[in-house]
Structure 1
C-alpha cells in the first residue's frame, strides 16, 4: 500500500450524523480511485456499523469495509469540527475517522492494519496527534503505524 498523502484526508468533514460522515468517506474513497462505486461502498460501511460499532473510544472511529468494488486497498483519515454520535465503545461522541478500504480478497491487509491502528489508540500521544495535530503530523503518524 502506498503512503498516505493529503489527498487521502479531509480535516474539515462536514457531517452532523454518522451516516453523513460515512457517505463522505465513501465519496472520498471514490474520488481517490480506491472504489469503483461510492454508493455501494457507503452501504458496506453502514452494514459494518450495524454488525458492531467501529467507534473505538476517545473520539476515534475506524470505519472499514471489504468488498469486490474496492480497486485498491487504502486508508483515509478525516476529522470533523463537531462531535458525532457513533455508539462508540466508551459511549462518547467521535470526530476523528480512520477509514480502512480493502478488496474482498485482502483480509490480511484489513485485519493487520486494523490491529496496528487499534493498538496505538491506547496511547494518549497518538490520540492527541489525531485530534489536534496538523495534517502533516497526522499523516506522518498514520504512515508510521501502517508501514
Structure 2
C-alpha cells in the first residue's frame, strides 16, 4: 500500500475552514466517519489526542501529521485538509499549520506496519520544501496527487 492508493477525494478538503487545532481534527475525523474509515468520531479523536500528548505532530513548514492507533478505524486512510489561514499548532519550527494529514490507523500489527510505511512516505515527501510549497498551493485533488507520483 502506498500513499497514492489511500488518497480519497471524499476525505480531502483543499479549502478547509477551521479556527484551531481541535476544530481541524474534529472536522477531518467527521470526514473519515462519513466515508467509512472510522466507526466512532469521539473514540477516534480521543485516540488522536493520546498520541498528541506524547509529542508534537507539527513537523514544521506549516504541516502537521496527527496520527494515532484506534480501534475505531475500519479502514486505513489519510484525511487531508488545507487551510487558507494558518492555525496555531505545536510545531518543530514554532510556526502554525496550513496543511494537515490526519492518519486513520487501526490497532493491529498489520495496520501498524502500513501506518509506518505511509508515514515514512509522507514524511519523505514533506521533507522536500518544493513539494510542500506545491501542496500548499494545490487547488485540486489532482494537484495534490501529482506531488506523490
Tell me, yes or no, if structure 1 residue 113 matches structure 2 residue 139.
Answer: no
Q: Which runs of 5+ in 2 are unaligned?
A: none
Q: 1:112 to 1:103 in 2, by over 3 A?
A: same
Distance 1:51 1:41 in 2: 16
Cα distance per residue 1:81-103 (max 9 Å; x no partner): 11111110111100101111111
Give 1:59 shift.
0.2
SS at match of 1:131: helix
CA distance in 1, matches of 2:82, 2:128: 19
SS state at 1:80 partner: strand
User: TM-score, structure 2 length as denominator?
Assistant: 0.89
Q: Which structure dedicates a bigger proportion of its chain to strand?
A: 1
Q: Supply the RMSD in Å over aligned alpha carbons.
A: 1.3
State the match for 1:140 in structure 2. 146
What SS does the corresponding residue of 2:68 show, helix, strand or coil? strand
1-structure distance, mates of 2:32, 2:72? 11
| 1:91 alignment counterpart | 94
Where does the alignment leave 5 or more consecutive residues of structure 1 unmatched? none
Aligned length: 143
Q: Give runs of ≥4 in structure 1 deviating > 2 Å.
A: 139-142
1:112/1:3 CA distance change after superposition, 3 Å: closer
Superposition TM-score, scaled by structure 1 size? 0.90
